[in-house]
C-alpha cells in the first residue's frame, strides 16, 4: 500500500488485511513508519454517530519511502498493490514504481486510489516515462478504484498518543475497473468489479464529491463548522439533494442505469454526510476551491453532464455561487480564488477559469449578488 494516509490506513489497508494478506505500507512519514513497525498493527475507529467500534488491523509493517531499494523490493515481490498518495505526489513516486515494476516476472494489478479522473492512465504514463522498456507494463494492470469511504483528517490531539489511529465510517465497498485487470482478479473482500467503470467514476465525482462540496460551500456561507451541521439544515439539505438528484438523473440517462437506485444512493450519501461522529469539517471538505471549480471537476463537470442530458442544474449554479464565497483562513487556494475574483469579477472568472458559458456565468453571478 503506497501511502499510509487516510485511504491507506482507513480503507485499503483494511481491505488487504481482511482479505488475508500481510499489509506493507510505504510512506515518508518516519514517525508513522516507526510506529507501524513497532506495533505491527494500527488502530481503526469505526464511527457511527455517537457509537465507536475499535478495531486493531494487525499483520502490518512499513517501509520508508525514502529508501528506494527497499520500496522497489516490496513492489517486485507483492501479490497486489495500491497507490494513494495524492495527485501532486504521483510524479515524484513514479521512478520508484518503475524500479519495482521493472523487476517483476509475474503480472501485477495496481489499484489506483486517487481522487482524480483518468488516474490509472495518468499513473501509467508517469511510470512509462521512467522505464527503459515501456513494454514491461503489458503485464501490469493499472486498475481504477472509486473510493467512496469517508475518512476525515484526525485532529492533532488525537494523533499525539497514537500516530497510527484513524477514524472511518462503516461504509466499506470498493468498486474496481473489471476491464483493467491483468491476469487473475485480485482476491479482495469488499471489491466489486464493474464495467463500464466510467459510470462508477462519474457517479463518485458528480454525485458524491459534488454533493459533499456543495454541503461544504453552502455550510460555509451559513456559518457552519461541520458537514453534519450543514446537512442538518433544511435550507442546505434540500438544494444539495436537488443538485445530487439532477446529476443522478443525468447519469441514469447517459448509462441506462436504474434511476431509483441512484436516488437511493443520493439519500444514503446525505445520511452518511450527517454522521456527526466523523467530525468532518466544512473547511476540509471545501478546501482547494480552485481545483474543485476547474472545468470537468465535480461542480462544473456535473453542470456539463446535466446540460448534456437535459436535466435541471439550477441548484448546481447556486452551489458554484456559494463556492465563490469560500474564504477559509489558511487555505492558499481560497486566497487565490478571492484574488482572481477581485481582478476580473465573478462572471469573467466563471467563464475564463471555470469554463461556464456566458449565460450560465451570468446566472451564477446573479445568484452570488443576490445572496450578499
pLDDT higher than threshold 80 for residue 370: no
Q: What is the rounded distance in angstroms from the CA atom of residue 371 to the CA atom of residue 285?
A: 22
pLDDT (tens digit, 9 = 90+) per residue, 23-70? 999 999 999 999 999 999 999 999 998 899 999 999 999 999 999 999
What pLDDT does residue 215 have? 98
What pLDDT does residue 153 have? 76
**CATH homologous superfamily, domain 6-195:** NAD(P)-binding Rossmann-like Domain (3.40.50.720)
For cell 461542480, what's the residue? 299
pLDDT higher than threshold 60 for residue 270: yes
Q: What is the rounded distance in angstroms from the CA atom of residue 216 to the CA atom of residue 231?
A: 9
pLDDT higher than threshold 80 for residue 158: no
pLDDT higher than threshold 90 for residue 116: no
Q: Which fold, 203-371?
A: 1.10.1040
pLDDT higher than threshold 60 for residue 241: yes
Mean pLDDT, the chain, whole residue set:
95
pLDDT (tens digit, 9 = 90+) per residue, 282-316? 999 999 999 999 999 999 999 999 999 999 999 99
What residues does each domain of the chain span? 6-195, 203-371
Percentage of the chain lying above the pLDDT 70 cut: 98
pLDDT higher than threshold 70 for residue 372: no
For cell 531499494, what's the residue? 69
What pLDDT does residue 154 have? 74
pTM score, two decimals? Answer: 0.92
pLDDT higher than threshold 60 for residue 71: yes
Write out the DSSP string of 347-363. Answer: HHHHHHTT---HHHHHH
Q: Give the residue among 217, 214, 170 at the shortest CA–CA distance from 190.
A: 170
Cα end-to-end span (Å), the chain: 46
Q: How many CB atoms lie within 10 A of CB 339?
A: 10
pLDDT (tens digit, 9 = 90+) per residue, 318-358? 999 999 999 999 999 999 999 999 999 999 999 999 999 99
Tell me what the mean pLDDT of segment 140-150 comes to: 96
What pLDDT does residue 371 have? 62
What pLDDT does residue 261 have? 97
Phi/psi region, residue 211 (left: phi>0; alpha: psi -120 to 50; beta: rest), is alpha
pLDDT higher than threshold 60 for residue 253: yes
Amino acid at each position: 500500500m503506497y501511502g499510509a494516509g487516510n485511504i491507506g490506513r482507513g480503507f485499503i489497508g483494511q481491505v488487504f488485511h481482511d482479505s488475508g494478506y500481510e499489509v506493507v505500507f510505504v510512506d515518508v512519514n518516519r514517525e508513522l513508519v516507526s510506529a507501524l513497525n513497532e506495533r505491527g498493527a494500527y488502530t481503526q475507529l469505526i464511527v457511527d454517530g455517537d457509537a465507536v467500534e475499535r478495531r486493531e488491523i494487525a499483520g502490518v509493517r512499513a517501509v520508508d519511502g525514502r529508501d528506494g531499494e527497499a520500496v522497489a523490493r516490496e513492489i517486485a515481490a507483492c501479490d497486489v498493490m495500491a497507490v494513494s498518495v495524492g495527485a501532486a505526489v504521483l510524479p515524484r513516486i513514479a521512478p520508484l514504481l518503475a524500479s519495482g515494476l521493472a523487476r517483476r516476472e509475474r503480472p501485477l494489478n495496481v489499484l489506483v486510489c486517487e481522487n482524480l479522473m483518468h488516474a490509472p492512465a495518468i499513473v501509467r504514463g508517469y511510470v512509462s516515462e521512467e522505464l527503459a522498456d515501456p513494454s514491461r507494463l503489458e503485464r501490469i494492470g493499472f486498475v481504477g478504484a472509486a473510493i467512496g469511504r469517508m475518512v476525515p483528517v484526525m485532529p492533532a490531539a488525537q494523533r499525539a498518543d497514537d500516530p497510527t489511529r484513524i477514524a472511518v465510517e462503516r461504509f466499506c465497498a470498493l468498486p474496481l475497473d473489471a476491464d483493467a485487470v491483468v491476469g487473475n482478479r485480485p482476491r479482495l473482500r469488499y471489491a466489486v468489479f464493474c464495467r463500464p467503470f466510467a459510470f462508477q467514476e462519474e457517479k463518485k465525482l458528480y454525485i458524491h464529491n459534488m454533493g459533499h462540496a456543495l454541503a461544504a460551500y453552502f455550510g460555509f456561507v451559513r456559518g457552519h463548522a461541520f458537514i453534519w451541521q450543514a446537512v442538518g439544515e433544511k435550507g442546505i439539505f434540500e438544494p444539495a439533494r436537488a443538485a445530487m438528484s439532477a446529476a443522478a438523473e443525468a447519469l441514469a440517462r447517459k448509462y441506462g442505469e436504474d434511476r431509483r437506485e441512484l436516488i437511493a444512493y443520493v439519500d444514503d450519501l446525505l445520511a452518511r454526510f450527517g454522521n456527526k461522529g466523523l467530525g468532518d469539517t466544512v473547511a476540509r471538505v471545501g478546501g482547494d476551491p480552485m481545483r474543485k471549480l476547474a472545468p470537468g471537476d465535480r461542480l462544473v463537470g456535473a453542470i456539463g453532464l446535466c446540460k448534456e442530458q437535459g436535466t435541471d442544474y439550477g441548484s448546481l449554479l447556486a452551489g458554484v455561487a456559494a463556492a465563490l464565497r469560500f474564504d477559509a483562513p489558511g487555505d492558499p487556494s481560497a486566497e487565490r480564488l478571492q484574488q482572481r475574483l477581485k481582478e476580473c469579477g465573478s462572471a469573467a472568472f466563471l467563464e475564463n477559469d471555470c469554463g461556464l458559458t456566458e449565460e450560465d456565468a451570468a446566472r451564477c453571478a446573479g445568484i452570488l449578488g443576490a445572496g450578499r
